Structure 1
Amino acid sequence: MVTAIYLVRHAHSVYTPDELARPLSEKGMEDREKITEILSANDVDVFLSSPYVRAAQTIEGAASHYRKEIIHIEGFKERTLTETPAADFQSAINKVWNDWNFSWEGGESNLAAQTRGVQSLFNVLEDYEGENIVIGTHGNLMVLIMNYFDKRYDFEFWKRLEMPDIYKLRFQGKQFIDCQRMMNP
């Protein structure tokens, strides 16, 4: 029985220091219509999301189309890079991608974030086997999950990821089958 997972990177958001409540920007709200259109053309059974507002807002339209509630899963929240905002984000993100065991103070290493995300995904594969599942999440965590199954999804891939973006991963049980981009370039 094949399970389809639609990993959805959230649309553009308005920056606020409150990570949890950061909403989509006006552009993000417009772009989520693309997400709704793409997901409405597929038979979706379940909608899951990071507890962060921007991730849930990105998939709200599609969930509404199917008259489904969005279930929040803590394991799909974005990786914590640092406890306090990094003075040089680019340098900070480079460091964690170059050393998978390294973490900044109060942050998660790539390995720790990947382990959390993949375990959450395996739980979903057990709970919703054979169903089509949308997961609203974040770019870093999304690529770390995808990297677990296929190493070509790496830091360079993350840098090219769109906002929003959708990748469909198919599984037989917990066995990865393939991955396909769902957004038009």
Structure 2
Amino acid sequence: METNLYFVRHAHSIYTPEELERPLSETGVRDAVRVTEFLKKEVIDQVVSSPYKRAMQTVEGIASFIGKDIEIVEDLRERTLSGKPVEDFDGAITRVWQDPNFSWEGGESNSVAQKRGVGATLLLLENYRGKNIVVGTHGNLMVLIMSNFDPSYDFQFWQNLEMPDIYQMTFAGNDLVKVRRIWEKK
């Protein structure tokens, strides 16, 4: 019995230092409509999401389409890079990917964030075995989860993600069987 998790990296958002309430931009809102249209082609049983507004906004259309509320999963939130804003984001993110156990002050290492994300994923696989679940989340955490099951999903892969992006991960039990990108850029 296969379980499909449709990991949805949130659409483009308006930058604010407040992570939890950061909303989608106008472009992001338009792309969230496209996300819904892509996911309508699949038979979706449930929608779960990070508690962050931009992730929920990206998947709320498909939740509405299937007539279900979004289930909030706290551990699907984005990784905390640092306890305070970093001056050089590219340098800071590169550093944590170079050493999975390194973390900036107040932040999570790749190892810690991955453990949290994989734990949430394994609970989804247990609770929704044989179902098709949309997972609203964030690029960094999504790739950390993917890399746990297949190390070829790495920093370079993350750098090439789009915003939004959708990857269907098919599992037999807790074993990853295949990954299929279902998002198509305009």
Is TM (by shorter chain) over 0.5? yes
The structural deviation recorded for 1:87 is 1.1
The residue aligned with 1:154 is 154
Q: Secondary structure at the match of 1:146?
A: helix
**Corresponding residue for residue 117 of structure 2:** 117
- Which residue of structure 2 lines up, in the alignment, with residue 28 of structure 1? 28
Deviation at 1:49, TM superposition (A): 0.1
Name the structure 2 match of 1:8.
8
Report the CA distance between 1:103 and its aligned residue: 0.3
The separation in 2 between residues aligned to 1:56 and 1:123, in whole angstroms, is 19
Give the aligned length: 185
The residue type equivalent to 1:6 in the other structure is: Y
State the 1:24 CA deviation.
Answer: 0.3
What is the TM-score normalised by the length of structure 1?
0.99
Show the counterpart of 2:68: 68
Name the residue aligned to 1:108. Answer: 108
**CA offsets 1:75-132 (integer angstroms, 9 cap, x no match):** 1000000000001111100100000000000000001000100010000100110000
Aligned-residue Cα RMSD (Å) equals 0.6
How many Å apart are 1:7 and its aligned residue? Answer: 0.2
Mind listing any 5+ residue stretches in structure 2 that lack a counterpart? none
In the alignment, the residues of structure 2 paired with residue 34 and residue 9 of structure 1 have an alpha-carbon distance, to the nearest angstrom, of 13
Q: How far did 1:17 drift?
A: 1.1
Show CA shifts across 1:23-62 (max 9, x none): 0000000001110001111110010000000000000111
